[in-house]
Structure 1
Amino acid sequence: MTMERRTLLKRLGTAGVAAMLAGCVGVQSQGDQTAQSGGESSTAGGSGESAGTAKAWYALPDTELPARKSAIKQFNQNSAHTVEGADISDMQKKTTSAIPAGQGPQTFEWAHDLAGDYMERGFIVDQGDKLNVSLDEFTDAAAEAAQYDGNVVGLPHTAETVALLYNKELVDEAPQTVADMKAVMEEHHDPSNNKYGLGMPFADPYFLSAWAHAFGGYYFDHTKEEQLGVAKPETVKGVQFAVDNFVPYMPNDPTYEPQASAFAEGNAAFAINGPWYLSTLNEKGVDYGIAKLPKPEGGDPSPFTGITLWYFSKKMGEGGPSAAAARAFAEWYVTNEELLLKNAEETGNIPVLKSLAESGDLPENVQGFAEAVQQGYPMPAHPKMNKVWDPVKAALTKGFNGKDVPKAMETAAEEIRGNWE
């Protein structure tokens, strides 16, 4: 997973947060009630009750750090527990080295697709019987993402996917079809003057997933007899469609920064990107709209979707006050409506708490992403998926650069099968 795909917290809501926090973290979980006979204690503020200190890791850009620090500060001020936050530059590398060594955090924030690999390697643990929060409080997709093989491995707070962004100074309304989109891109594409029809990180399989899935294809699906779908005709058709219909209107570098910059600088009519991108657009003053992805003729775009979790690391399995502190923090964070709504307003985060997700009161831009989520296909959390990303990235890069798409995808499939063996 790349940093760009992460759903990020921008700002913490203010009015009423402290009161909600105190009410939430002051409630004992099932595990805490059991603990009074000699086990762990996980309450926040009761007389004679044990308080703990937990480490929480996250990966945020510099512009997002003040908000996260503010959130943790508010939690600490209103709880007998203490959470020590740390921004981690390479989350997967750091967690895979620290956790097996008995170090690292009690909880860390990342998308749900780590669940299978980390559960099988013993890096995360089930805390389902110790939670005061029911998974029924979240959308079905979020509740499913928080579990792996029957274990509750974290608590969800936001969804993420890619959607169509359009520059309102150049485009009157979002196109419903790719044919309509092409007509607008043709009108505005002028690379000699640094003007483009579209900015989309083509080399990233996550961003291309909507089109790889659009005609019945898939990269990987562990529920199918043929789990690997990279070289299937339907998948190749989707990638070829993207090459034929989008690449001619894009900057000539398929990586994230050049593609994202084209739209952020006001030089592209459209972008395909995610909610993490909105803080950049807001800083640049781009007047943008967000809509679900347009349909290709004979197909339906279906982008990968992800759910951001506060994971329960192996250290929580040790129990004690530190585990209780981590649970209390995660429970507060994922159920704090004002905090989650403020995140939606500021960064386009898509809440997965049912009371917000189903309220109909989300900001306009979030509705666009929410519709794209409804189009989407959950990222596989199976460990085999880890071997799929890089070979497909190489194949997409070849396709972008004019190489034979079927051959590139077959080469990727052969590499993936070799890596699995």
Structure 2
Amino acid sequence: MSKLQWKKAAFGLVTASAALVLAACGNGGEDTASSSASSEPAEGGTLQVSVGPDYVDYVNEIAPAFEEETGIDVEVVEREMFETLDALSLDGPAGIAPDVTIAPYDRIGNLGIQGHLTPVTLPEDDRYDDTDKQQVTANDEVYGMPFVVESLVLYYNKDLIDAAPTTFAELEALSEDSAYDYETEEGKNTAFLANWVDFYSAYGLISGYGGYIFGSEGTDTADIGLNNEGAVEGIEYAKTWYEKWPEGMLDTTSAGSFVDETFIAGDAAAIIGGPWSAASYDEGGVNYGIAPMPELPNGESYQPFGGGKGWIISGYTENAEAAQQWVEYVTTEENQTALHEFNSEVPANQQARQAIVDAGENELAVAVIEQYNNAVPMPNIPEMAEVWTGAETMMFDAVSGNKSAQQSADDAVKVIQDNIAQKY
């Protein structure tokens, strides 16, 4: 399962069982999380911090200074992030959940609404902008401390083209180059590739043309904009590319792999991918560059989902004050800079982020930061699970010719509306 598929699957796991778990646990979780954690200094004690193996060394590196400053002992527990999150609804009431852990933004609002998280107080020091705050807010309550940001970006092969295309018009011109003709399918070209039969990847195109998921910044489920005039125009533009691309680009299960393999083989000059793609391109020996997405034909910016992760406090913790101190501490400019130096991830802290741009040494991080400025926070309410279901085949139906762009979008919206009406 790809990272993107895992994200989508994971988002729905808690949603599916929420009602049963809360019914079984009574109102314990909701009562625990009903008031914001205080930022007053805690008085000693032990704080259990659960992180995946990719963050253990980082937490162990910065924890001693926190312990010395606060008198709070940090107990680091190594456990995969999704295992921790999926177990929270049961481990919390049982008293065995960690005090703090990390969660993807698209899980935070959902967990908070279900009563599994303690609200967080964001520091008033300009470390976050409105987009950062939106990522961790649901029902007007803040349930997480932004930690890492990510976005889709443009990868290009420096051995094939001198610079990153800045407009889709340039990509269209590139696709006329016979050097990128697909050998086994006449009239097909792989100069530029994007896995747009996957809704996560296609959303930046739809949004850039004026489509949206829910109105009111992702909170109004009665207002679905995936079939408005702009969204349909974006889908129709995608179809013009599928007329040029090999048949493998229509395979919803393997198109992503086709894009990666073609780029690594040197048969694609530019592709759309995420920060997580870089490792495989490094391993494949590609001499690549990274840039923000080119300007769309309508003159607007490509607007993909803005993803990432935040720190969360368990709704069942007895150490809410200490937990609040930790999430503030781990997201300071100093510690977020240390995070970037540790694993090259892009910190959410605005000051640390700007320092990366000013230094200009990490091309991937700079591209992610610049693209993230045009990214759209994914709705973090439970109803988002129905969007994945409803939009699953929307792009395929349209670009394959099974349905018109308008009909495909209309059908997807109807599925989303019907599912929301039945379940919420």
CA RMSD of aligned residues (A): 3.2
Structure 1 segment 163-202 matched on structure 2, within 5 A: 163-187=153-177, 188-192=179-183, 196-202=190-196
- 1:217 to partner: Cα distance: 1.5
The whole-number CA distance in structure 1 between the counterparts of 2:339 and 2:51 is 21
- 1:388 to partner: Cα distance: 0.6
Verify the 8 A CA contact 2:109 2:136 in the aligned structure 1: no
- 1:412 partner amino acid: A
- 2:352 partner amino acid: L
Of 345, 349, 353, the residue aligned with 1:353 is: 349
The whole-number CA distance in structure 1 between the counterparts of 2:83 and 2:259 is 23
**SS in structure 2 at match of 1:358:** helix
The whole-number CA distance in structure 2 between the counterparts of 1:314 and 1:385 is 22
- 1:139 partner amino acid: D
Q: Which moved more, 1:227-236 or 1:67-76?
A: 67-76
- 1:313 to partner: Cα distance: 2.3
Q: How many residue pairs end up in the alignment?
A: 371
Distance change >3 Å, CA 263–CA 221, structure 1 → 2: farther
**SS in structure 1 at match of 2:383:** helix
Distance change >3 Å, CA 53–CA 358, structure 1 → 2: closer
Structure 1 segment 249-260 matched on structure 2, within 5 A: 249=245, 251-252=248-249, 253-255=251-253, 256-260=256-260
- 1:333 to partner: Cα distance: 3.0
Q: Write out per-residue CA displacement over residues 80-130 of structure 1, whole angstroms, 9 at most, x where no aligned residue.
A: 3212121145666444555566554333323322233222211212132xx
**SS in structure 1 at match of 2:56:** helix
- 1:173 partner amino acid: A
The whole-number CA distance in structure 2 between the counterparts of 1:418 and 1:74 is 49
Distance change >3 Å, CA 151–CA 89, structure 1 → 2: closer
- 1:392 to partner: Cα distance: 0.7
Q: Write out per-residue CA displacement over residues 164-208 of structure 1, whole angstroms, 9 at most, x where no aligned residue.
A: 111111111111221211222332433337983234332322211
Distance change >3 Å, CA 3–CA 332, structure 1 → 2: farther
The whole-number CA distance in structure 2 between the counterparts of 1:419 and 1:100 is 30
Distance change >3 Å, CA 254–CA 197, structure 1 → 2: farther
**SS in structure 1 at match of 2:176:** helix
- 1:313 partner amino acid: S
- Output the TM-score relative to the length of structure 2: 0.76
For 2:401, the equivalent position in structure 1 comes to 402
For 2:198, the equivalent position in structure 1 comes to 204
The whole-number CA distance in structure 1 between the counterparts of 2:93 and 2:181 is 52
- 1:190 partner amino acid: D
Distance change >3 Å, CA 378–CA 30, structure 1 → 2: closer
Q: Structure 1: 5+ residue runs without aligned partners?
A: 8-28, 36-40, 42-49, 59-64
Of 111, 123, 139, the residue aligned with 1:118 is: 111
**SS in structure 2 at match of 1:383:** coil
**SS in structure 2 at match of 1:375:** coil
**SS in structure 2 at match of 1:310:** strand
For 2:282, the equivalent position in structure 1 comes to 282
Structure 1 segment 14-413 matched on structure 2, within 5 A: 31-33=39-41, 41=43, 50-58=44-52, 65=53, 67-75=54-62, 79=67, 80-88=73-81, 93-95=86-88, 98-99=91-92, 103-128=96-121, 133-134=123-124, 136-187=126-177, 188-192=179-183, 196-222=190-216, 227-245=223-241, 248-249=244-245, 251-252=248-249, 253-255=251-253, 256-300=256-300, 301-316=302-317, 319-320=318-319, 323=320, 326-335=323-332, 337=334, 340=337, 343=340, 347=344, 349-359=345-355, 360-362=358-360, 363-404=362-403, 405-413=405-413
Distance change >3 Å, CA 97–CA 57, structure 1 → 2: farther
- Output the TM-score relative to the length of structure 1: 0.77
**SS in structure 2 at match of 1:388:** helix
For 2:17, the equivalent position in structure 1 comes to none
- 1:420 to partner: Cα distance: 0.7
**Identity percentage of aligned residues:** 23
Distance change >3 Å, CA 174–CA 286, structure 1 → 2: same
The whole-number CA distance in structure 2 between the counterparts of 1:94 and 1:262 is 39
Verify the 8 A CA contact 2:115 2:315 in the aligned structure 1: yes
Distance change >3 Å, CA 6–CA 334, structure 1 → 2: farther
- 1:364 partner amino acid: E
The whole-number CA distance in structure 1 between the counterparts of 2:365 and 2:112 is 31
For 1:38, the equivalent position in structure 2 comes to none
Distance change >3 Å, CA 338–CA 100, structure 1 → 2: closer
Distance change >3 Å, CA 346–CA 127, structure 1 → 2: closer
- 1:235 to partner: Cα distance: 0.8
